[in-house]
Every structure is written in structure tokens, then in C-alpha cells.
Amino acid sequence: MELENSKPRLPNPGDSGLMYSLAAILFVFAGGRLARLGLPADLYIILSEILLIALPPFLMARAKNFHIASTFRLKKPRAVEVLLTVLLGPLVIIAGACAGMIALIIIRNTFGSISLDTGITTVMEKGVLWSLFLIAVVPAVCEEILFRGLIQRGLEKMGAGWSIALSGLLFGLFHFDFQRFAAQTLIGVVAAYVVYRTGSIFNGMILHFMNNGLLTLLSLNMPGVPNPNPMPQPVTDPFSTPEFAELAELYGMSLDELLNAAILTLTVVFLFTLVVIFGLILALRAATRNRVEKPEREKGAGRGLWLGIPGLVLVLTVYASIGLRLMNHPAGTQILRFLGL
């Protein structure tokens, strides 16, 4: 008979690895097939986020009898925690935007073309509130349940630092996008730290919502192009425009020289923003000093991560295929077609 004061049953790194593999397999294979059903873009977003991202970790938690509230940190956040999270939001967005633009220029210089998601903007034609719900609210809730819920909780048996770093990295990789990888990883790491320190997944959802919400508002005037494929698609050089050409001529530079100079400026802004983010993180650390729930490390717990190798290999295969496609190598398209993407 279980004692009333016994510790709640929580996932371990093996559960986290298994969950990541299952999520990757579902998103790549089931997600690709779901996209080809010809569903409206908004319905596809809702179904894919709920069925492929949020539902599997809850089903695993139920099947393995994990304590739901503790596993997913379903705790009401304190006002000071929400305030610091809200303050972190714009800074993380600025840092992520700088990292994304730097990556965009580097990818353009490396591959000669880039890949952008040209389909998501079609849902923005239905109004601001509906767009925010689809692109900010739904992903913020569903993706946090997976990454800052079961995956991060399980990784904590390796230590808090490992859980924060790995859950953030896995989150960044899961977006299947070279130029957004650094930005999404940064958001994932900061969200993971906030959730760990505050013990509330809702703070991670707030940070995630702010990031997606602002980007949605900035994109509302972009034209939508129907795209049934969940993978980003190759596009022409977005910097080969008269505006960029005039700007380069104004400074007496070639376009390549202008973009390389932009990398330096963006790097300075990025590093400055990181310093401010670090200051707010220290403030959050001080505010939660006597309230943080420190995980109990288990020796050898990291060995369970091998269950995540299939998912990681699949994710990296998709990245390699996208890279080959950007270089106009037919193998990239063939591999993606084989995967159903």
C-alpha cells in the first residue's frame, strides 16, 4: 500500500528520450500525411498541435501512472514571476530576431538560397484574434506541455542544468528550420529555466505566447501563399531587392559587404540583449531562491537517453535533406518525399 507522504511518480530521461522519438516520428510521418489531406491551414494547425504534440505526453503520463500535476508543473504562478517573465519576453524576441537574421544571412551565403515557411500566413487573413489564437496560443500551450512538461521533467534526473540545456536544444531542433534554430533554442532554454525556477509551466506558456504573438502581429500584412507542406520551402534570395541594392549603394558597398556588416551590428545587439536577459534571470533566481524545487539526481540516469536517438536521427535527417535541397541537390527532395514531407 502506497504511503500518503510518498513522492509522486515522475518521468526519467528514458521517458524523455522515448517521448522525443515518438513526437518526431508522429510529426514527420503523421504530420506530413495530415497536411496532404487538404485541410484548411487553421484546422491543420489545431489538429497537428493537439494530436501530435500535446496529446502524446499526456497519454504517456497516464499510461505510466505519472503524477500529472507534478510532471507538467500545473501550478499557479506568482505575480512577481509573471512580471519577470513578461519583462523577459521582448528581450528574448529581440535576441531571437538578431540570431535569426544572422542565421538567415549565413545560410544565404552558404547555400545560395533560403527556406521559409510560406504557408502559415494564410491563416492571418481571418483576423488578428484568430491569428493570435492559432499561432500564439495553441503552440504555446501544446509545445510547452511536450517540452517543458514531460521531456524537461524527465531530464531533471540528470540535473537541472542538463534538463534546461537539453530541453531547449531539442525544442530548437524540432522546428526543422535552419534560420530559426538559434532563436528557438534560445527561447527554449530561457523558458526551461523560467519553468524550473518558478515550478509553473504557465510561465513558459506566457513567454512562448509573447514570442509567437509579436511575430504574428508583425506578419499580419504579409501576403499568404497556400502551402500544404509542413516543411519550410526554398525561396529566392530575399535580399535581392531594389531596397537592399539602394541601401548598399548608399554606403558604397556591394550587397554581400552590406550583409556581412549587418552580421556584426546584429551580433553586438544580440550580445547586449543577452546581458540584459541574464540580469533578469538573476532577478528571477533571487525571487525564487527559497521556493525552487531542486530535482534529485540519479546516477546513470542519462543512459536512458538512448531511447531518444531514433527521434534525433530522424530530425537530423530532415535537416540534412533541407540543406541538400537548398543546394539544389536532388537527393534532398527525394529523401523528403520518401519521408512523406
Q: What is the pLDDT of residues 264-311, one digit of tens each?
A: 999 999 999 999 999 999 999 999 998 888 888 888 888 889 999 999
Q: Cα separation of 262 and 148, whole Å?
A: 34
Asked if pLDDT for residue 334 goes beyond 50, the answer is yes
Average pLDDT value for residue range 207-218: 86
Q: What angle do CA 99, 328, 171 make, to 5 degrees?
A: 35
Look up residue 48 and give its DSSP letter. Answer: I
Instruction: State residue 224's pLDDT score.
Output: 42
pTM for this prediction: 0.86
| Better pLDDT: 55 or 339 | 55
CA separation for the pair 14, 208 (Å, rounded): 26
Query: Is 108 a residue whose pLDDT tops 90?
Result: no
Average pLDDT, the chain: 85
What is the gyration radius of the CA atoms in the chain, in angstroms?
21
% of residues, the chain, pLDDT over 70: 88
Residue 196 · residue 152 · CB < 8 Å: yes
pLDDT of 118 strictly over 80: no
Distance CA 159, CA 285 (A): 17
Ramachandran angles phi, psi of 209, nearest 5°: -60, -45
Q: At what angle do helices 160-173 and 309-326 cross, to 10 degrees?
A: 40
Least confident of 55-59, 81-85, 115-119, 201-205: 115-119
Structure confidence by residue, pLDDT tens digits, 45-82: 999 999 999 999 999 999 999 999 999 999 999 999 99
Which pLDDT does position 302 carry in this prediction? 83
Which range is least confidently modeled, 54-58, 219-223, 246-250, 264-268? 219-223
